A and B are shown apart, each in its own frame.
Chain A
Amino acid sequence: LRGYYWSGLDCSFNVTFVLSAPLNGNTASLCGSRALQRTICSSAIRHQEKKASSSAKTAKDFSYLPPLPGHDSALRWGGKKFEDLPIVHIKATYNNTHIQLTDSAGQSVVRTSCGTEGFKNIKKSTPIAAQTAGISAAAKATAKGVSFVRVVVKGLGPGRLSAIKGLTMGGLEVVSITDNTPVPHNGCRPRKARRT
């Protein structure tokens, strides 16, 4: 199931390369993707290795897909490869937002949350609180010498986007955004439905 979530993106890239080879065609066709491209790509086909090897390395070539550890890509951020960059885990729950910066091995470097920023109760579940947490996390990280960072977001909460914005406002460079929201394939039974 590795390629499952890339169904739409994969196919649109394939179609782009087959139809035309403009310089900035990738982003244009992606942002303005037609309904036809979307309805075609509904199967889970994974061609990432083939695509990465077949994509021409032009001057302005940019791929939305991350460079795989086995695949040698020439992209470096601060001299580091993609898999050596530190990771920022953002857990955006409905009541709070936690931000933890770890290095590529998993050792924690910086840990902030809306609560550690002085917000209480309902004010923690706001995008502004998440933004302040992001700014303070970025400040502490730059004090420790971190510049480029990958972001992993977990959960659908109010601080999901504003935490990333706070990181960029605080001075960290975001290289990629991953979504790691836990999706159970019908595992644990959640709590009962609320009646409001």
Chain B
Amino acid sequence: MARHLRFISRTVMVQNGDVDAAYKTLNRILTQDGIVDTVKRKRYYEKPCRERQRKNFENCRRIYHTEMARKIAFISRTNREDPWLGC
């Protein structure tokens, strides 16, 4: 980011000389913000038709995964209030 102020964003301080933990934190932030993904994808050109296919696929995948997670969470409910309270 040549036109931005330096050392403001994408920066992690190292605590007690623990470089590994700081690097892990930085990596986690970058992946969560989608930067690692973007950099890998932009290494080679992605044609617009391929981009539309990929976006469509990722949309469907996201819907499927959220619905499946919802279903599993619903089926595996373990913390319920006692239905036979008092008996």
Interface size class of A (residues with CB under 8 A): 35 or more
Binds B, one of A59-67, A112-120, A137-145: A59-67
Question: How far, in Å, is B26 (CB) from chain A's closest CB?
Answer: 6
Complex Cα–Cα for A127 and B76 (A):
44
Complex Cα–Cα for A176 and B18 (A):
10
Question: How far, in Å, is A24 (CB) from chain B's closest CB?
Answer: 10
Query: Could you say which residues of chain A place their CB within 8 Å of the CB of B1?
Result: 180, 182-183
Complex Cα–Cα for A164 and B5 (A):
23
- Binary per-residue interface labels of chain A (85-127) against chain B in the complex, 1 for a CB within 8 Å, 0 otherwise: 0000000000000000000000000000000000000000000
Residue among A1, A27, A189, A194 making CB contact with B4, cutoff 8 Å: A1
Given contacts A178-B11, A179-B10, contact A168 B17 (CB under 8 A): yes
B interface residues, tally (CB under 8 Å): 36
**Cβ A176 vs Cβ B33 within 8 A:** no
- Determine if A51 is an interface residue (Cβ-Cβ < 8 Å): no
Given contacts A66-B13, A191-B45, contact A178 B6 (CB under 8 A): yes
**Cβ B9 vs Cβ A156 within 8 A:** no
**Cβ A6 vs Cβ B15 within 8 A:** no
Q: Which residues of B contact A (CB under 8 A)?
A: 1, 4-15, 17, 19-23, 25-26, 29-30, 32-33, 35-36, 38-40, 42-47
Query: Could you say which residues of chain A place their CB within 8 Å of the CB of B15?
Result: 27, 62, 64
- Binary per-residue interface labels of chain A (127-159) against chain B in the complex, 1 for a CB within 8 Å, 0 otherwise: 000000000000000000000001010001000
**Cβ B4 vs Cβ A2 within 8 A:** yes
